[in-house]
A and B are shown apart, each in its own frame.
Chain A
């Protein structure tokens, strides 16, 4: 069975590296992008099972990216992460349908839980651990 592809969008390279390592340690395949635009223009758009996106990015924010995916009919589950959590942004993001809105100093078990939720949502027929 092919591994699930987790795509990571963050303008901060050290964080992309850290997240790549963590996701790989959990057994996922990982692709990283330094901007929302780069992700939208890549072939991974069709193969990604879960998208982990930073909220604060210079041109297109993680929120906008999620909105655009929804608008274009894509059903990729989105996990938003941020270095500066804000309750209002969290409320709006959750209302718009993201899986979760996490601080960058997250707990890895919690993240894993959300990723699993995302994978179930992406492919309801499949159950894996």
Chain B
């Protein structure tokens, strides 16, 4: 082993062969273990070493990447991939080479030298030692340690330069391989994060082709990752009727940079592989890679959320319907008893009048009977008035229920209820609700009925306006005089100033099928709450209905 390799070792271990392998590896054609194997064999044989170690940095420290040993005339290389211990090599030598970036060559380590105290040297007694730092422009990228325990001066200094060159070349290739595997590792980590996300995560390129598709996306949409990648997103989960819009939106963004739906949560309908549709919440963010746009999308299945919302809405609708039905039933009973009580004296009066006429027509007229009949008519007329007075007094006595009411919350609930009606009529609904409104004491259902009435009125009033200009604004505010006010403003035709007074009269209506009871009832509800309902013309058009409620916790109303 003291002599350099000669031709009888075959062409594979020649310098040329090694070069070839190193340069191939630089092109990524052989994997790192094969490269290391080749390097270590060449280094051992070419330098005349008996044992060799390749030391490379790994996560802030040096690791033994590979160990080559000779035995029974053959070199064997093992990929140690282990931390350095004092039993592997003289650590002080390695540290010195690393620090100074200079080679350390000991012709006979048994002679006194700066490293004589090293534990390894004292226990293993190697004779010839070479530690080669491998450098590139960035600095130290690894080291090769060679030793021969049998002979001093076994390592040929003349060959050191060549080995160093080769090893440096190889180390750089290895470094690239490591960088690459680091990248792969990071990639895999990112993948694991993406796959463990609860949302479906996907990305598309500027042509709308899917470039990322995580495990959740597989579950959510039914398409496997390998089925999804490379396909057009719109084919995968956008229902056919929306595909045009999606593609136009994409093109619009690419040409103008405008994407009103980007970088925020939007709710859309998505398609599963089996053709079924379901609601999703999507946020899409554009980003550029090498000047090309890509879009990442986070998709959440909101079927359950929607169902819960719908059921809450249905429940509220039912509550309102029930309250309404109750009121209608109460109204029905009330009007029946009013009719009965009032018809009684009216019937008597009419009958008396008939009698009086007959007594007058008699020959001779019986004026005494006429007199009696007319007196009874007066009495019956008064009785009718009394009946009405009693009913009014009775109604006034029934106080409205008092809930502690968050006006904004009540407004939002009604706005929510009327959303589909507004949508159907192409009305854009906006709310402008003041923060920190004081709580008012009011009958929630009655007040919501008022709001419902005002909003439906407004939507109906706008049905004759241009579809593009139908706007409904509902705002709330606290006024200085301890009142909370709510305003419902529409962009409809409004009402003539002169009829402002009539609006609240019972049986006044501008609607072909209206009863003319709504606003009159609304006003009486507000008045029963100690509040007011006013109508003012909008500017430039439309109507503004404003109601106010006093902020009081006592029972002043």
* Chain A residues close to B by CB (< 8 Å): 12, 14-15, 17-19, 21-22, 24-26, 56, 81, 83-84, 103-106, 108
Cα distance A104–B343 in the bound complex, in angstroms:
7
Cα distance A56–B341 in the bound complex, in angstroms:
11
Number of A-B contacts (CB under 8 A): 82
- Residues from chain A with Cβ under 8 Å of B346 in the complex: 104-105
Whether B344 lies near A21 (C-beta < 8 A) is no
- Residues from chain A with Cβ under 8 Å of B352 in the complex: 17-18, 21-22
Cα distance A9–B444 in the bound complex, in angstroms:
48
Whether A18 lies near B348 (C-beta < 8 A) is yes
Q: Whose C-beta in chain B lies nearest to the C-beta of A12?
A: B344
Cα distance A81–B424 in the bound complex, in angstroms:
50
- Residues from chain B with Cβ under 8 Å of A105 in the complex: 343, 346-347, 350
Whether A15 lies near B351 (C-beta < 8 A) is yes
- Tell me whether A12 and B369 are in contact in the complex, defined as CB-CB below 8 angstroms, given that A84-B336, A108-B354, A108-B358 are known contacts: no
Cα distance A32–B346 in the bound complex, in angstroms:
20
Cα distance A9–B345 in the bound complex, in angstroms:
16
Interface flags, B316-347, vs A, CB<8A=1, else 0: 00000000000000000000100111011111
- Residues from chain B with Cβ under 8 Å of A15 in the complex: 344, 347-348, 351
- Tell me whether A56 and B351 are in contact in the complex, defined as CB-CB below 8 angstroms, given that A21-B372, A104-B346 are known contacts: no
- Residues from chain B with Cβ under 8 Å of A12 in the complex: 344, 348
- Residues from chain B with Cβ under 8 Å of A17 in the complex: 348, 352, 376
- Residues from chain B with Cβ under 8 Å of A83 in the complex: 339-341, 343-344, 347
Whether A19 lies near B340 (C-beta < 8 A) is no
Distance in Å: Cβ of B88 to nearest Cβ of chain A: 108
Whether B362 lies near A22 (C-beta < 8 A) is no
- Residues from chain A with Cβ under 8 Å of B449 in the complex: none
Distance in Å: Cβ of A80 to nearest Cβ of chain B: 13
- Tell me whether A104 and B347 are in contact in the complex, defined as CB-CB below 8 angstroms, given that A18-B376, A25-B369 are known contacts: yes
What are 17 A-B residue pairs whose CB atoms fall within 8 Å in the complex?
Answer: A14-B345, A14-B380, A15-B347, A17-B352, A18-B347, A21-B356, A22-B351, A22-B358, A83-B343, A83-B347, A104-B348, A104-B350, A105-B343, A106-B347, A106-B350, A106-B351, A108-B355
Whether B348 lies near A26 (C-beta < 8 A) is no
Whether A25 lies near B359 (C-beta < 8 A) is yes
Interface flag for B379 (CB, 8 Å):
yes
Whether A19 lies near B351 (C-beta < 8 A) is yes
Whether B339 lies near A18 (C-beta < 8 A) is no
Cα distance A18–B372 in the bound complex, in angstroms:
10
Cα distance A25–B357 in the bound complex, in angstroms:
9
The 3 closest A-B pairs by CB, nearest first: A104-B347, A25-B358, A83-B343
- Residues from chain B with Cβ under 8 Å of A81 in the complex: 347
- Residues from chain B with Cβ under 8 Å of A22 in the complex: 351-352, 354-355, 358
Cα distance A81–B350 in the bound complex, in angstroms:
13
Whether B347 lies near A84 (C-beta < 8 A) is no
Cα distance A25–B355 in the bound complex, in angstroms:
6
- Tell me whether A21 and B369 are in contact in the complex, defined as CB-CB below 8 angstroms, given that A14-B376, A14-B379 are known contacts: yes
Of B350, B355, B379, which one neighbours A21 at CB under 8 angstroms? B355
Distance in Å: Cβ of B236 to nearest Cβ of chain A: 63
Question: Restricting to B126-166, which residues have a CB under 8 Å from any CB of A?
Answer: none
Distance in Å: Cβ of A4 to nearest Cβ of chain B: 17
- Residues from chain B with Cβ under 8 Å of A108 in the complex: 351, 354-355, 357-358
- Residues from chain A with Cβ under 8 Å of B356 in the complex: 21
- Residues from chain B with Cβ under 8 Å of A104 in the complex: 343-344, 346-348, 350-351
Interface flag for B373 (CB, 8 Å):
yes
Known contacts A12-B344, A25-B355, A106-B347; 12 further A-B pairs (Cβ under 8 A)? A14-B379, A18-B349, A18-B351, A18-B376, A21-B355, A21-B369, A22-B355, A56-B340, A83-B339, A83-B341, A84-B343, A105-B346
Cα distance A12–B380 in the bound complex, in angstroms:
11
- Residues from chain A with Cβ under 8 Å of B359 in the complex: 21, 25
Interface flag for B383 (CB, 8 Å):
yes
Cα distance A15–B348 in the bound complex, in angstroms:
5
Cα distance A63–B530 in the bound complex, in angstroms:
47
Distance in Å: Cβ of A5 to nearest Cβ of chain B: 18
Cα distance A26–B355 in the bound complex, in angstroms:
8
Cα distance A88–B392 in the bound complex, in angstroms:
29
- Residues from chain B with Cβ under 8 Å of A21 in the complex: 351-352, 355-356, 359, 369, 372-373, 376
- Residues from chain B with Cβ under 8 Å of A19 in the complex: 351
- Residues from chain B with Cβ under 8 Å of A106 in the complex: 347, 350-351
Which of B350, B366, B372 has most chain A Cβ within 10 Å? B350
Which of A18, A25, A26 has most chain B Cβ within 10 Å? A18
- Residues from chain A with Cβ under 8 Å of B355 in the complex: 18, 21-22, 24-25, 108
Distance in Å: Cβ of B277 to nearest Cβ of chain A: 50
- Residues from chain A with Cβ under 8 Å of B369 in the complex: 21, 24-25
Which of B340, B343, B351 has most chain A Cβ within 10 Å? B351
- Residues from chain A with Cβ under 8 Å of B357 in the complex: 108
- Residues from chain A with Cβ under 8 Å of B341 in the complex: 83
Distance in Å: Cβ of A19 to nearest Cβ of chain B: 6
- Residues from chain A with Cβ under 8 Å of B349 in the complex: 18
Whether A84 lies near B340 (C-beta < 8 A) is yes
Distance in Å: Cβ of A10 to nearest Cβ of chain B: 9
Question: Restricting to B347-402, which residues have a CB under 8 Å from any CB of A?
Answer: 347-352, 354-359, 362, 366, 369, 372-373, 376, 379-380, 383
Q: Whose C-beta in chain B lies nearest to the C-beta of A22?
A: B355
Cα distance A25–B354 in the bound complex, in angstroms:
9
Whether B348 lies near A14 (C-beta < 8 A) is yes
Cα distance A14–B386 in the bound complex, in angstroms:
14
- Residues from chain A with Cβ under 8 Å of B354 in the complex: 22, 108
